[in-house]
Structure 1
């Protein structure tokens, strides 16, 4: 059972959002974490590490590592993909950035973004300096998920629609709450940390298709540590930075009320169970994934090739395509945010993998010829639950068809989502594929099983390092 907060849900409208969150952070105990949530945390760590491995070969990985190496502080925390020790902020910046470079890291629908790639780099770094246990880290992870998902339910649709990158903007707030839980911060400290997180919430969708998108995730992880560290020293921030007259919600989100989304925090099923985490099976923007699954199914079932296709029509649920800003991508990074390229790669190659997102693959003549034949629209109605319908209109003579004949598939429940989770062995297979892509000789089976069996009472930093970089 979660301990009751100092107020009842009926009192919520009179209590500010920062104070509500701080009460939850201060009173929710780590020993309330159940085994299912603990295992979800382990899976998130495995999956986020896999995404970081995949991103480690991108040019931006070397650049952020070079920058972080210049940050002068005690080398306490670990860069996941090399074992190098850096300051806790520098390590969080690197791990968060490379964890998002391949766009292969997990998602939660209420956030409309990526929670683990912000939460886990921040918590792993802080755990290294605090000596935290595995259970304490994943309890803090659950707290961060709670804050992110509840904020997301209140504001994410309009917030993302305005052009903000919720992985950074909501992520930094949730990560600050998580870090405060890990250090057992009091309410006043947590309120200040949340305000300092708001002071650093600035990610924009204008950076999609460039290295800066991944930097925004790394920056959020580092900024959460900065906010927590300053607040711990007594550095203060506004108590109404979230929902005051000049606060985050009014400035960034159009003024949606937070009170209903936070009212029963600590009283109901945790968001780590309620929303869960969606594991990505394709390394590109999640907004394409239902359509990719539909296209791959149509290709497999009907034997369709690019020469058979007169047109591809993609219809999705409302507000689903906001991140897809490149109808005619020119680079691999731009291709990650293009429904047109996702459909072309799925149709031509029969797979969408890490190898799909190079400049050369995007520039292929067959791909470029197919892009103009893909049209996309959003349906009216509610943005959730998400769905996508792909209709392929065939050329005359394709498989005996008449001109104008078509095949169609609608996907609502996506493979890998919290509603249809992949088993642990497929998550380990994803890690192995990421290691192979990165040219690493690390044994994915060994690391995967090691991460999924981290002992709750072990010191997180030591146990994590021993799995990734065992002593010889």
Structure 2
């Protein structure tokens, strides 16, 4: 009965059911993701995906790529959901539900924005209601099979995300309970995503494909396509196939009683979240060391004491690409010490392979300690003169106990969006997404900040998008090496 229970709850869900904190969490989740999707388009994966699919599979142009943000350049809703899903996750800068490590917004939002623009006339409150329905569906489902589902190697953001997207789009389309059940079933059978592909473009492909698959599931069901009304709980349904543990009925019984979206967090650094405490510790060590008149170039060894999950998920010792660097705590500590920050600019191929970065990375030793929490780390650096600088991160910024402030969230959005849109249009985009709940037609949101993108390498559909200038980055790294 779990599939029916989820469908029934979603169909009956109303905007009036939400408390003010739930609405605020939904809006924050949406604009945080939108900034990631706009900024993420500067990476190669989204434009490759668009260029590879739109000439061959594109239908009538109805929906926008957020990173192109020009209402004269659209593709069909299916490709838009796919490409925006990739763009929103490719930097690993999107939100995280810490209890499951699911990045909940991307799959649901990418599908919803594509459908809302194609369908037209979707107001802000209906959009937010559909969004929350999808997010709650995927997170409750993720909790029901955690941790066995993840531990065996599934990428739970995408395996649950396609179902969340199907629930959300079904809600937006006004599907009834049995039809929503069919949509859930069609999405469930498209289970996608394994951890083997972390550190490659395929990780973000998981999110794009899940958004696309969930949307297709709802559209097929709307048109009479059949699946199973027990797609989740049946003997050979989703929960029993993907996990040795299932507690889906108990989790779905809490729908609308406890809101998982309130447990969503937002990343200060664009990489695996378990290495965030180590990065923050390295940044604080750099600040303290420079305050003592020490030079980072005089470091002889670095020690990081971390939670065991840090090495499980981000234990790559010798990353060779920017994407691999996002799963290397060694790289994270090195750039924190060298740059005093960790932005998308520190997770490029040029930075990962820079000799100064590689040299410092090799000095980093990581030990695990089960008494250290996942949002905690101890970082110390030993210098040539014998000075040892140590910092303890109790609750890393971006955690539930130390969340990003509104100002920090806006700065993050602007930092990403301005790379592609420029400052003025990025400000317009921020205001548009912040006000999404008050819109009479969410499908027009891109028009509020559309225009010519910032100059750079020519992107898909004949528009421009800005990429990180490798030459400039190399110069910057050279200066860092000289100064430190």
Same fold (TM over 0.5): yes
1:455, 1:278 → 2: CA distance?
A: 20
Structure 1: gaps (5+ residues): 1-15
Please say which of residues 108-117 and 365-374 is displaced more in the overlay: 365-374
Secondary structure of the residue aligned to 2:301 is strand
Partner of 2:438: 456
Secondary structure of the residue aligned to 2:232 is coil
Q: 1:204-252 CA deviation, whole Å, 9 max, x = no partner? A: 1111111111111111111110111111112122233223222222221
Partner of 1:394: 382
Tell me the CA shift for residue 470 of structure 1.
7.2
Q: 1:413-445 CA deviation, whole Å, 9 max, x = no partner? A: x32334433333322222222234337464322
Please say which of residues 24-33 and 226-235 is displaced more in the overlay: 24-33
Do the aligned residues in 2 keep the contact of 1:172 with 1:221 (CA within 8 Å)? yes
Q: 1:316-341 CA deviation, whole Å, 9 max, x = no partner? A: 1x545443252210111111111110
Partner of 1:287: 274
Tell me the CA shift for residue 141 of structure 1.
1.2
Please give the residue correspondences for 1:10-49 in structure 2 after superposition, counting only pairs within 5 Å: 16-49=1-34
Partner of 1:7: none
Do the aligned residues in 1 keep the contact of 2:36 with 2:417 (CA within 8 Å)? no
Please give the residue correspondences for 1:128-277 in structure 2 after superposition, counting only pairs within 5 Å: 128-130=117-119, 131-266=121-256, 268-273=257-262, 275=263, 277=264
Partner of 1:447: 429
Tell me the CA shift for residue 378 of structure 1.
4.3
Q: 1:375 to 1:21 in 2, by over 3 A?
A: farther
Do the aligned residues in 2 keep the contact of 1:159 with 1:253 (CA within 8 Å)? yes
Partner of 1:107: 96
Partner of 1:8: none
Q: 1:391 to 1:415 in 2, by over 3 A?
A: closer
Q: CA RMSD in A?
A: 2.3
Please say which of residues 389-398 and 206-215 is displaced more in the overlay: 389-398
| Structure-2-length-normalised TM-score | 0.85
Partner of 1:467: 448
Partner of 1:278: 265
Do the aligned residues in 1 keep the contact of 2:310 with 2:329 (CA within 8 Å)? no
Please say which of residues 169-178 and 296-305 is displaced more in the overlay: 296-305
Q: 1:155 to 1:307 in 2, by over 3 A?
A: farther
Do the aligned residues in 2 keep the contact of 1:17 with 1:242 (CA within 8 Å)? yes
2:446, 2:101 → 1: CA distance?
A: 31
2:315, 2:155 → 1: CA distance?
A: 13
Secondary structure of the residue aligned to 1:438 is helix
Partner of 2:465: none
1:52 alignment partner, one of 37, 58, 77: 37
Q: 1:406 to 1:422 in 2, by over 3 A?
A: closer
Q: 1:457 to 1:49 in 2, by over 3 A?
A: closer
1:80, 1:279 → 2: CA distance?
A: 20
Secondary structure of the residue aligned to 2:314 is coil
Partner of 1:92: 81
Partner of 1:74: 60
Q: 1:134 to 1:68 in 2, by over 3 A?
A: farther
Aligned residues: 443
Partner of 2:303: 312
Q: 1:74 to 1:311 in 2, by over 3 A?
A: same
1:244, 1:53 → 2: CA distance?
A: 39
1:418, 1:184 → 2: CA distance?
A: 34
Please say which of residues 279-288 and 303-312 is displaced more in the overlay: 303-312
